[in-house]
Amino acid sequence: MSSPIVIKVLTAEDLPLLTQLLDMFGVAFNETETYSAAQPSRDYMLSLLRNDHFVALVALADDVVVGGIAGYLLRKFEQERSEFYLYDLAVAEHFRRRGIASQLIERLKVVAKERGAYVLFVQADLADESAVALYQKFGDGQQVLQFDIEV
């Protein structure tokens, strides 16, 4: 029998869960160097968790992070409104195909709305068919180009 999944919005009290989330992202994305090798300092992570413009949620099974989602509230200038950018979403391999990603998105929609967002947006690589299929359940896709500009 599988453990019930609990979705939790992280607060400053949940620093160990944010660390677990980073490690889980590293494994799920096959980018442990990026997510685990040089994690931010405790003060940096606390400042993120205390800021209303950053949101992280985790899916827990027996108090272990098995999925998570993170993103940013972006205040607009043309109107008094905000958009929410879903930056990262992953579920540990052994917990996939159980609806956890959908649960995380549904909960994030509520949190984003509570924080003033009128829309949630996300990018997905066309080659990542699972991600594209997941996001198509929630909204219409647009093909755009993304440019990384060095600063």
Domain ranges, ordered by start, for the chain: 6-136
SS3 assignment, position 19: helix
The CATH architecture assigned to 6-136 reads 3-Layer(aba) Sandwich (3.40)
Residues 111/9, Cβ–Cβ less than 8 Å:
yes
**Region of poorest pLDDT, from 47-61, 86-100, 120-134:** 120-134
Tell me which residue has tokens 């827990």: 60
Residue 149: pLDDT band by 50, 70, 90 thresholds?
low
Mean pLDDT, range 108-128, rounded to an integer? 85
Averaged pLDDT for residues 92-107: 94
Q: What is the pTM of this model?
A: 0.85
Percent of the chain with pLDDT over 90: 76
CB 83 within 8 A of CB 118: yes
Cβ contact 59:68 at 8 Å:
yes
CA diameter of the chain: 51
